[in-house]
Copies of this chain bind each other. A is one copy, B any other.
């Protein structure tokens, strides 16, 4: 199966400085290219789990950045949970304030086995949360949106990650390209460790998990912003275009299978 990605982001730099784009497929790709409309060389910074950020030092002007890639998606073995993973991905984080969410232990902690617990959490979030485009604010955390009862992919992932961590299941946030998502947009899902290995889940159930392409992996959305300014740089968005497709055809995902996210 192949995933074809064509992502473009147009922006105006209003105060010059460094802009960080985290748009590249984590695995690298068979063919990929990240280009800026003007000829500025990126510094490529690597973070954990293959996350790659392209940093450009830009003057005040309009720019667009385009990422094109063709990724072969092969069945992979699930990654093993390391002790460092266990320590990091059970901690509270900015948008997953697990230390305030003890109720989840009573709600889910008594179930038998990691998989039953994670399945229960995904079902709980899917059933209770309404997917509402444009809802919420960038400062909202998992608690805010769980209480509001509605959110976007970011919120579904944050809530699941947080609930898993409360019951001692390591969980992390992953930004992805998602063939089949409608309307097409940047997407976010989460990985949880089941019996010592990482698998991918998506409580929105809006795109099949088999054809997801990992971009950035981290504690929550604070670690995976597809665009961020560094230092005093300021930008305005002027628009995004995103075309992501799977070939030869979109897989089916009834949500019941354990699926590792391709590395």
Contacts and interface: CB of A to CB of B under 8 A. Distances in A.
Contacts of A232: 168
B93 A93 contact: yes
Interface stretch (A62-70, A181-189, A198-206, A223-231): A223-231
A contact patch SS = mixed
A100 interface: yes
A55 B83 contact: yes
Nearest to A141: B97
A175 interface: no
A222 B92 CA distance: 7
Q: How large is the interface on A (under 10, 10 to 19, 20 to 34, 35 or more residues)?
A: 35 or more
A148 interface: yes
A223 B94 contact: no
Contacts of A94: 91-94, 97, 99
Contact of A45 (B84, B90, B97, B230): B84
A22 to B, nearest CB: 9
Interface stretch (A6-14, A72-80, A102-110, A252-260): A102-110
Select the residue from A83, A86, A94, A99 with max chain B CB neighbours within 10 A.
A94
A222 B222 CA distance: 15
A84 B53 CA distance: 9
B45 A91 contact: no
Contacts of A143: 143, 147
14 contacts: A18-B86, A43-B83, A45-B87, A47-B88, A55-B87, A90-B231, A91-B223, A92-B222, A93-B94, A93-B222, A97-B139, A102-B150, A103-B149, A106-B130
Given A53-B87, A100-B147, A100-B148, 8 more contacts: A20-B87, A45-B84, A45-B87, A99-B138, A102-B149, A106-B149, A107-B128, A107-B149
